[in-house]
Amino acid sequence: MSDVNVAENLKIVNRNIEEACNRAGRKRSDVTLIAVSKTKPVDLIMKAYNEGVRDFGENKVQELTAKMEEMPKDIRWHMIGHLQRNKVKYIAGRVALIHSVDSYELAEEISKQCVKRDLTQDILVEINIADEESKFGAAYDDAEELVYKIIGLPNISVKGLMCIAPNVDNYEENRKYFKKIIKKVVDINSNTGDNVNHENGFPKEIRESLSNGFLSVLSFGMTNDYIAAVEEGSTMVRVGTGIFGERDYNK
């Protein structure tokens, strides 16, 4: 653990992102690096903070809120793990972004808690992009309808889509999934998807906001595949192991 050189790892990851941006003709500033700090102690995470990182990702509510208390207040916390409805109250309106909204019921609970607090929560809709049984997320074909429904809720703002691609040895294998999620966001934004009945009660202004490029955040790419993710158009890569080293779940 102590032999992990966070500063050096960050340099490598940042250089890889920059080079991928250059190859793809993208601006480095269009990609946010989220340092995934789950299971890692505060003293190690603070090394990334001291290198300038301000976006951190956690996948458990209790761990996230504990670290939030302990660490500097200018950090943008990202909830990236599966979220149970009964835990929503601990984070709603307190985190920068909830990446893992996979049902209307979960969105409703976030909305409800945020109305109470007079806050708005930014969220992403998680898609189970490779239709894996082991993963959470809305079915690909249901994503548009779910987005449209959530937009109708108060105090919750849908910013984009998120996915966790399969764990593969060669990241080239995940490009097809990245292309697929990009296609979905383009479909939703241009309102040309054919999975949604547009007559079905969605207010005109909602449809208009969607056609104006409403969804602008795409969260995909992890240690194994963030280079391909940036080349394909990700705007948020979530890198844990590549920054903080392997996780030990036995402790």
For binding to ligand PLP (CB under 6 A), which residues are involved? 36, 38, 59, 80-81, 164, 222-224, 238-242
Q: What is the DSSP letter of 131?
A: -
- 98 beta partners: 79, 123
Q: How much of the chain is helix, strand and coil, in % rounded to 5?
A: 45, 15, 40
Q: 13 or 188: whose CB is closer to ligand PLP?
A: 13
Residue labelled with tokens 């809120």: 65
Smallest distance from the beta carbon of 18 to ligand PLP, in angstroms? 18
**Strand bridging mode 55-58 / 121-127:** unpaired
Smallest CA-to-CA distance from 135 within 102, 168, 95 is with 102
Q: 193 or 221: whose CB is closer to ligand PLP?
A: 221
Residue labelled with tokens 């972004």: 97
Q: 59 or 189: whose CB is closer to ligand PLP?
A: 59
Residue with the closest Cβ to ligand PLP? 240
Is residue 137 within 8 A of residue 116, CB to CB? The reply is: no
Q: What is the DSSP letter of 81?
A: S
Q: 102 or 187: whose CB is closer to ligand PLP?
A: 102
Q: 193 or 242: whose CB is closer to ligand PLP?
A: 242
Integer Cα distance of 112 and 198 in angstroms: 26
Q: 152 or 245: whose CB is closer to ligand PLP?
A: 245
Smallest distance from the beta carbon of 118 to ligand PLP, in angstroms? 29
3-state secondary structure of 1: coil
Smallest distance from the beta carbon of 234 to ligand PLP, in angstroms? 12
Rg (CA), the chain: 18
Integer Cα distance of 29 and 169 in angstroms: 28
251 residue type, one letter:
K
